[in-house]
Amino acid sequence: MKYYDKLIFELSKPGRTGYSLPAAACPSETSGCAGPLPSDDGPLPLTVPRVARFPKGSCCQAADSVVWRESKLDLPEVSEVDVVRHYTNLSQMNFGVDTGFYPLGSCTMKYNPKINEEIANMPAFAGLHPLQPEHMVKGALEVYVGMDRALAAITGMKHFTFLPCAGAHGELTGLMLMREYHMSRGDTARTKVIVPDSAHGTNPASAAVCGLDIVVVKSKEDGLVDVEALKPLLGPDIAGIMLTNPNTLGLFERDIKQISELVHECGGLLYYDGANMNPLLGMVRPGDMGFDIMHLNLHKTFSTPHGGGGPGSGPVGVSDKVVPFLHIPHTSGFHGNFGVILRAYAYILMLGRENVKMAGKLATLGANYIKESLKGCYKLPIPTVCKHEFVFDGLLEDNGVTTLDVAKRLLDYGFHAPTIYFPLLFHQAIMIEPTETESLETLDAFIDVMRKIAVEARTDPEMLHAAPHNTPIGRPDETTAARQPVLKA
């Protein structure tokens, strides 16, 4: 990766253009239109001679004189080749799954199949207007029907809504469904939702946005939800519990049956945070564990590209008793992120009923392999078998080298860093998730580098504090960025 220091604005030269537009189809002479939008770049005219175009008793008065932009629009003036080179140069300072191993815990950075991209870009899908009559979009509707059925088969839920555009958006939609369920029964006192202390930050945030209060249930020493601590929290004010299973430590909540019974007995519902669904893919169905509502992250479990932070898709599935409410929350514009749903459908069809059974297992295999290979150098707070991911709590030897140092040093060796400082249960958390699309050779190369870094921590801690050394930029001054924010050029 090489450093490239330009903003597109800095390439601008007045008079250059990168657009190609047709000549006017309906120039003002033919339409009688007086050409209200001048071609120079001065302010737009304050009056538009509409009356002139409707001379005979038109009910249209002279147009509102104040509606046009007054200020000059300052966009870059660059040629097409400038644009292509600029963004190509920018791309070369980026690391993606196609660049190398991306063991980012809880993010499921699996390979993004290329056929999916071709399918999503097919003009017969990409050119569909969202409001076209149903009989004109039968193919698109079949995608939804097919996905609904496939996801129901994989998760054991009954039906899905595809409106949510991301995982957190799915959580919000799912919690709205939880509230609808209770409200439909006149059970309006249920305004609290239980969230484990190990939960993703989005869980409490989504609950708050949904107007629910949060009750935190503690984890035990072994990282699992403390059932005894849960019991006294349950009551007539509990709307439900949000669980990630396996949890953010990569551990399967083995008391799920008891938790499910307790929560249901108190009248609450179980919400499944699908962020960690990957190890269960082809092995365990949330519906079978008693979950009533769940979301999936198609951009995690179902291989659609993360796009540098989106677009994703977070369909929400529900059990029988919540199905009647599924259509109520209108949480996004049209039909959700159709282009992402198409990609995920292509992936599911490639997997089929045969390969799906291997996906979760191989993801779990990779995670345990790394864990067992590195526990001699990194502190493993919970040694039991993990699922798709696990958490180290810093280096075994204390040389003053932090998790941040380790993460930054990994970049020098051509790997993306794991998720760091999450979950909050440990001070030096390093959360590693390899996914099933990584070969033994890739995992071994990563293991070698992690060991090497552990040695470097002993021999040259200063070098680690200053890492990375081989990247386009070094560690940034984040304090200044936050104290004196510069958010635009």
| Footprint on residues 329-358 left by another protein (CB under 8 A) | 329-340, 342, 346, 348-358
* Paired tokens of 405: 């140092």
Is 192 a binding residue for another protein by CB under 8 A? The answer is no
CA distance 335 to 352: 25
Q: Select the span of 44-52, 315-323, 425-433, 449-457 touching another protein (CB under 8 A).
A: 44-52
Tell which one of 264, 369, 413, 451 touches another protein (CB under 8 A): 369
Residue owning tokens 């953010």: 248
Strands 419-420 and 390-393: unpaired
Rounded CA-CA distance 113/102 in Å is: 16
CB of 267 to another protein, least distance (A): 19
Compute the distance between CA of residue 489 and CA of residue 484 in angstroms, rounded to an integer.
14
Q: Using CB under 8 A, which of 46, 118, 185, 236 touches another protein?
A: 118
Q: In angstroms, what is the minimal distance from the CB of 180 to another protein?
A: 9
169 burial (CB, 10 Å; 0-12 / 13-18 / 19+) is buried
Provide the token pair at 346: 């292509």
Phi, psi of 129 (to 5 degrees): -80, 140
Please select the residue that binds another protein; options are 103, 105, 119, 148, rule is CB under 8 A.
119
Q: Does 20 bind another protein (CB under 8 A)?
A: yes
CB of 459 to another protein, least distance (A): 22
Instruction: Return the structure tokens found at 436.
Output: 């099933």
* Residue 39 interacting with another protein (CB under 8 A): yes
10 Å Cβ neighbour count for 467? 23
Question: What's phi and psi for 322, nearest 5 deg?
Answer: -100, -10
Instruction: With CB under 8 A as the rule, give the number of residues binding another protein.
Output: 219
- Return the residues of window 220-249 that contact another protein according to CB under 8 A: none
Reading the block at residue 314, the tokens are 């977070």
**Assigned token pair, 394:** 């810093």
User: Which of positions 274-333 make contact with another protein (CB under 8 A)?
Assistant: 282-285, 288-289, 303, 305-312, 329-333
Rounded alpha-carbon distances, angstroms, from residue 478 to 360, 437, 453: 38, 34, 25
Give the C-alpha separation, 272 to 381, whole Å: 25
413 binds another protein (CB under 8 A): no
Q: Which is nearer to another protein, 86 or 395 (CB)?
A: 86
Both tokens of 175, joined, read 């919690």
Residue choice 364, 402, 403, 428 for contact with another protein (CB under 8 A): 364
According to the binding rule CB under 8 A, does residue 87 interact with another protein? yes
Which residue in 55, 186, 232, 485 binds another protein (CB under 8 A)? 485
Tell me the one-letter amino acid at 472: P
Q: Return the range that interacts with another protein (CB under 8 A); candidates 261-269, 379-387, 389-397, 451-459.
A: 379-387
Distances (CA, A) of 32 to 21, 26, 123, 165, 468: 22, 10, 36, 45, 65
80 is an interface residue for another protein by CB under 8 A: yes
Q: Between 253 and 458, whose beta carbon lies closer to another protein?
A: 253
In whole angstroms, how close is the CB of 290 to another protein at the nearest point?
10
**Binding of another protein by 361 (CB under 8 A):** yes
Q: Are 110 and 97 in contact (CB under 8 A)?
A: yes
Q: Which is nearer to another protein, 266 or 443 (CB)?
A: 443
Site for another protein contains 272 (CB under 8 A): no
Residue from 41, 221, 228, 265 touching another protein (CB under 8 A): that is: 41
Q: Which is nearer to another protein, 72 or 459 (CB)?
A: 72
Establish if 487 lies at the interface with another protein (CB under 8 A). Answer: yes
Does 417 contact another protein by CB under 8 A?
yes
350 or 458: CB nearest another protein:
350
- With vertex at residue 49, the alpha carbon angle to CA 46 and CA 51, rounded to the nearest 5 degrees, is 135
Contact between 28 and another protein per CB under 8 A: yes
Q: What is the distance between the alpha carbons of residues 295 and 275, in angstroms, rounded to a whole number?
A: 8
